[in-house]
Amino acid sequence: MFTEFTSQFKVTSWKAIILGVLAGFIVIGGFASSFYFGYLRGVAEPKTLSLQFANVEVPDGGPDAADFNIFWQTWKIIRDEALKGKEITDKEMIYGAVRGLVNSLSDPHSVFLPPEETKEFREDIQGTFSGVGMEIGKKNGDLVIITPLKDSPAEKAGLQPNDQILKINDAFTGEMDVEQAVKLIRGQQNTQVTLLIYRDGWDKAEEFKVTRDVINIPTVEFDVKEGNVGYIELSNFNEQAGTAFYRALIDVMNRGSLGLIVDLRNNPGGYLEVSVDIAGWFLPEGTLVVSEQPRDGNRREFKSDGEGQLKDTPVVILINEGSASAAEILAGALRNQMKAKLVGAKTFGKGTVQMLEGLTDGSTIKLTIANWVLPDGTIIEKNGLEPDEKVEITDEDVKARRDPQLDKALEIIMKDIKAGKTD
């Protein structure tokens, strides 16, 4: 479930919290007896209850008071009348209620994860899982591919960033959330999943049959291009990315690189701290990289703590539709603070902070709590970053193994290197 590897998480302690829908009448520890008592009382004595939750009290009878009567009425009607009312368990109904509570935020990045999905999520951020190897998300209400991972089954099948997923096997994705989609796409190695895909410019959707495999998430590849130009491709911002970038940088600089191209194309993001650490190679200590803006408006600033060894080195950043989250933060910060040129296509536009909060039964809720704001005031979410030099890669380029975006980056950086020598 490589779904939220794109964003920075504030992982809080896995303490017990009681959600609003459960407050006052369910204690998880004594689930069966407490639930039964609460149910009988809720049906027999329906009334409007106020919530006292997270030190915030909603006045009784006020405009925001919660009427739990309708909750218990619905529960009873489902139990008594629904075709599957006797098949569904109490736990499944509670999970459904909690999921609905989180979904009321109408935020594609805020989700409820039951224990099994929580376990899968933790496995994913460790870097290995079985699936097709692509990052997916919601864009304008549609389920889309953010990016296929390099050398993954998804990439080899021809899937591309911004492809819209209409069906997964026989299931339409119209009302499907990201976690449900991931659950259907993932599966055992050597099994197959069928995706109905629509791509801008196509007359009709096409089916892609993709064979699942064990996915090892790549991190860094590097080289020195003609003209002594260092090239580092950073595929994600996982826990190892900072160290991997350092080793790649030392290698290309020791080989006489006069400039550097950082390739963030199809990089879905990862940990904020890693992107800030990497920014420290380019920006002097204390330089603003990004700000976190929560709902109270009080921004928290994240500044570089490196020595800015590359601050005078010509740098070009490659971006595309698959560059998201931490990749957008690094690219935007380097453009704002050291005038690095961005080459390629507009980025995805994923720029919010998610918090993970553990529940008592091993479930979690993941909530959006803030926006990322670049040093120039740009809010990344839904806006993305426009490149300084827009360069498209056509299907013909892909078939011919041409990379006009990299060619343009090399052209720009060679001019900068020559200008520096002249100066």
In our burial notation (b when 16+ CB lie closer than 10 A, e otherwise), range 90-117 reads: eeebbbebbbeebeeeeebbbbbbbeeb
Confidence of residue 395 (pLDDT cuts 50, 70, 90): confident
Report the C-alpha gap between 152 and 134 in whole angstroms.
Answer: 8
User: pLDDT tens digits, residue range 181-237?
Assistant: 988 998 889 999 999 999 999 999 999 999 999 887 778 999 999 999 999 999 999
Question: What does CATH list as the number for 220-422?
Answer: 3.90.226.10
Residue 52 predicted with pLDDT over 50 = no
Confidence of residue 270 (pLDDT cuts 50, 70, 90): confident
Token pair belonging to 243: 């160290």
pLDDT of residue 47: 39
H/E stretch holding 414 reads: helix 404-422
Report the C-alpha gap between 268 and 348 in whole angstroms.
Answer: 9
Place of tokens 């006045």: 59
Q: What is the pTM of this model?
A: 0.70
Question: What does CATH list as the number for 129-216?
Answer: 2.30.42.10
User: pLDDT tens digits, residue range 286-313?
Assistant: 999 999 999 998 899 999 998 899 999 9
pLDDT of residue 16: 25
Counting Cα atoms < 13 Å in the Cβ hemisphere of 169 gives: 12
- Spatial CB neighbours of 390, under 8 Å, sequence gap ≥ 6: 344, 345, 346
- Spatial CB neighbours of 167, under 8 Å, sequence gap ≥ 6: 173, 194, 195, 196
Report the C-alpha gap between 318 and 341 in whole angstroms.
Answer: 9
DSSP 3-state of 373: strand
Q: Boundaries of CATH 3.90.226.10 in the chain?
A: 220-422
Report the C-alpha gap between 256 and 264 in whole angstroms.
Answer: 22
Mean pLDDT of 403-418: 95
Percent of the chain with pLDDT over 90: 61
Q: Boundaries of CATH 2.30.42.10 in the chain?
A: 129-216
